[in-house]
Amino acid sequence: MTKYIIDAGQVEQHNAKLRAELQADYDALGGMLARRGVDIEALTAKAQTFGVAVPSWGAGTGGTRFARFPGKGEPRDVTEKLEDCAVINQLTRATPAVSLHFPWDKPSDPKALRQQADELGLGFDAVNSNTFQDQAGQAHTYKFGSLTSTSQASREQAVQHNIDCIELGKTLGSKGLTVWVGDGANFPGQSNLRGALERYIDSARGIYAALPDDWLMYIEHKLFEPAFYCSVIADWGTSFAVAQTLGPKAKCLVDLGHHAPNTNIEMIVARLAQFGKLGGFHFNDSKYGDDDLDSGSIDPFQLFLVFNELADATLRDGTFSPAYMLDQSHNVTDPIESLMSSAVEVQRAFVQAALVDRAALAGFQEGNDVLQAAQTLKKAFRTDVSPVLAMARLRSGGAIDPVAAYRASGYREQVAVKRPPKAGASGSGIV
Ligand code: LRH
Ligand code: MN
Ligand code: MN
């Protein structure tokens, strides 16, 4: 029996107030979709299958290198982060798993943490390693790189950290390791571009060798930051080459914020899917760079186009199932509210992509009817599927309006009393 953090009766009360209005909207949308030959019930059932993992580090207030403005009642450790993640899933029913980051989330008792997650109805998605900052008491620095460092001792330490993450992940029931390194250079000439990648591959082989057979290693690329002249794993081409070199358990992870402005991300998605190397996503949104803004807050059409490619890939290969994770930094909002609305935005794109009339689209593409092909996508994108999403939540036991239900619950005020502010409470302060 799942232990709910927000009183189930309160959620029911909230739903009771909105139920009639939702039913009316749902029926109206159902009629409109029926005229298009779409069964709203099938769509709602599909929406109910959607899940995106929540990043533990997103539960605390983020910051920039200029400042961090702590929020009230921030989780102080991984167990409190799990509680917040459980609230997000209780109300949205779209975030059944949590992605942990080590050592930020290193549990003193991994078995107890897994039990806590079980009780809260949560699982663990991929675990993330951190060799982009030095930890207290660490023997060798990552100042000049980790997996690609010229220092063999630093490289070995970074490999061992990743292996330790796998071991922890095994105890927690995770099935994947996401590897992102900040390694790169700030000056032309600082680093031998080819030599750094050779060292990366050599180190990554050591990690890959420790992966259980049913695990995946997700290689996450990022154009820049913290390295501002060049990053070793800067783009999907490098990530793809590494994943190919390592073997079938290595796949590429696409963080939406890790590209140059105007990059056609859906095209990258299509390419990686075509060659069997699309492992998963870190969803967020951005205007300028790795802004880690809330998913769908800047360019929802791009998010839709990504899911349009995923729907196409799923049609071609039924076994295709990339990992969905959020990776955001909430600097000015309540993280729980941001994560709930972001999960719903990603779910929205998933449902809208299912509305694309693929037969019609293929026909327009075949006949070079450019305008109608574009309109076919726009028609799906413009459809307001909010009633489907709300009905999916209601039927799965969640809240019709998660943010309203959350505010009415008083959860933040309650935890603010239990969790007095503590320095460095976000768990990262970096993102
Ligand atoms: C790097 C990144 C990566 C890290 C996370 C904290 O910018 O996207 O996924 O693990 O942020
Ligand atoms: Mn990321
Ligand atoms: Mn990032």
What is the pLDDT of the chain when averaged over all its residues?
97
Ligand 1 neighbourhood includes 255 CB (under 6 angstroms): yes
Residues near 428 by Cβ (< 8 Å), separated by ≥ 6?
A: 57, 60, 62, 101, 104
Report the share of the chain in percent with pLDDT over 70.
98
Query: Ligand 1, from 100, 327, 329: best to mutate by most atoms within 8 Å of Cβ?
Result: 327
How many domains does one find in the chain? 1
- Nearest 5°: CA angle at 63, between 52 and 123? 25
> Is residue 14 in some structural domain?
no
| Domain residue limits at 331 | 50-356
Ligand 1 neighbourhood includes 327 CB (under 6 angstroms): yes
**What six digits make up the tokens of 415?**
């935890």
Q: Per DSSP, what are the bridge partners of residue 385? A: none
CB atoms within 10 A of CB 68: 19
- Per-residue pLDDT at 265 exceeds 70: yes
Distance CA(396)–CA(51), nearest Å, equals: 12
Distance CA(389)–CA(347), nearest Å, equals: 8
What's the whole-number mean pLDDT along residues 295-311?
98
> Is residue 189 in some structural domain?
yes
Give the pLDDT of residue 225: 97
Ligand 1 neighbourhood includes 222 CB (under 6 angstroms): yes
Distance CA(27)–CA(315), nearest Å, equals: 28
**What is the Å distance from ligand 2's center to 327 Cα?**
5
Distance CA(292)–CA(261), nearest Å, equals: 14
> Is residue 242 in some structural domain?
yes
Ligand 1 neighbourhood includes 128 CB (under 6 angstroms): yes
**What is the Å distance from ligand 3's center to 202 Cα?**
24
> Is residue 307 in some structural domain?
yes
Give the pLDDT of residue 423: 57
| Amino acid sitting at position 401 | D
Query: Ligand 1, from 180, 222, 331: best to mutate by most atoms within 8 Å of Cβ?
Result: 180
Give the pLDDT of residue 403: 98
**What is the Å distance from ligand 3's center to 221 Cα?**
9
Sheet holding 176-179, edge to edge: 101-102, 127-129, 176-179, 216-220, 250-255, 278-283, 323-326
Give the pLDDT of residue 429: 46
For the CA of 226, the nearest ligand:
1
Give the pLDDT of residue 234: 98
In the structure, what pLDDT confidence band is assigned to residue 33 with cuts at 50, 70 and 90? very high
Ligand 1 neighbourhood includes 282 CB (under 6 angstroms): yes
HSE, side-chain direction, 13 A CA sphere, residue 192: 8
Residues near 321 by Cβ (< 8 Å), separated by ≥ 6?
A: none
For the CA of 178, the nearest ligand:
1
Give the pLDDT of residue 422: 66
Task: Give per-residue pLDDT as tens, 373-384.
Answer: 999 999 999 999
In the structure, what pLDDT confidence band is assigned to residue 430 with cuts at 50, 70 and 90? very low
Q: Are strands 278-283 and 250-255 parallel, antiparallel or unpaired?
A: parallel
> Is residue 177 in some structural domain?
yes
Task: Give per-residue pLDDT as tens, 147-157.
Answer: 999 999 999 99
Quick check: helix, strand or coil at residue 222? coil
Ligand 1 neighbourhood includes 431 CB (under 6 angstroms): yes
> Is residue 333 in some structural domain?
yes
Give the pLDDT of residue 421: 79
Task: Give per-residue pLDDT as tens, 319-334.
Answer: 999 999 999 999 999 9
Distance CA(319)–CA(303), nearest Å, equals: 22
Distance CA(364)–CA(22), nearest Å, equals: 35
Which letter does DSSP use for residue 235 in this model?
A: S
- Per-residue pLDDT at 426 exceeds 70: no
Quick check: helix, strand or coil at residue 356? coil
**What ipTM is given for this predicted complex?**
0.99
CB 394 within 8 A of CB 44: no
- Per-residue pLDDT at 46 exceeds 90: yes
- Per-residue pLDDT at 431 exceeds 60: no
Ligand 1 neighbourhood includes 180 CB (under 6 angstroms): yes
- Pick the residue whose CA is nearest to atom 3 on ligand 1: 180
CB 68 within 8 A of CB 429: yes
Distance CA(90)–CA(108), nearest Å, equals: 26
CATH number of the CATH domain containing 309: 3.20.20.150
- Per-residue pLDDT at 58 exceeds 80: yes
> Is residue 117 in some structural domain?
yes
Distance CA(57)–CA(63), nearest Å, equals: 12
Matching residue, tokens 């909207």: 25
What's the whole-number mean pLDDT along residues 346-354?
99
Nearest-atom index, ligand 1, CA of 253: 9
Q: E strand or H helix at 129, and its extent?
A: strand 127-129
pTM for the model: 0.97
CB atoms within 10 A of CB 137: 5
- Pick the residue whose CA is nearest to atom 6 on ligand 1: 431
For the CA of 286, the nearest ligand:
3
In the structure, what pLDDT confidence band is assigned to residue 236 with cuts at 50, 70 and 90? very high
**What is the Å distance from ligand 2's center to 93 Cα?**
23
Distance CA(280)–CA(368), nearest Å, equals: 32
For the CA of 58, the nearest ligand:
1
Nearest-atom index, ligand 1, CA of 130: 10
- Taking a 5 Å cut-off on Cβ, the residues next to ion ligand 2 are 255, 282, 327
Report DSSP letters for 142-205, one per residue: -TT-STT-S-HHHHHHHHHHHHHHHHHHHHHT--EEEE----EESSTTSS-HHHHHHHHHHHHH
Matching residue, tokens 């969790």: 419
For the CA of 325, the nearest ligand:
2
Give the pLDDT of residue 420: 86
What's the whole-number mean pLDDT along residues 196-222?
99
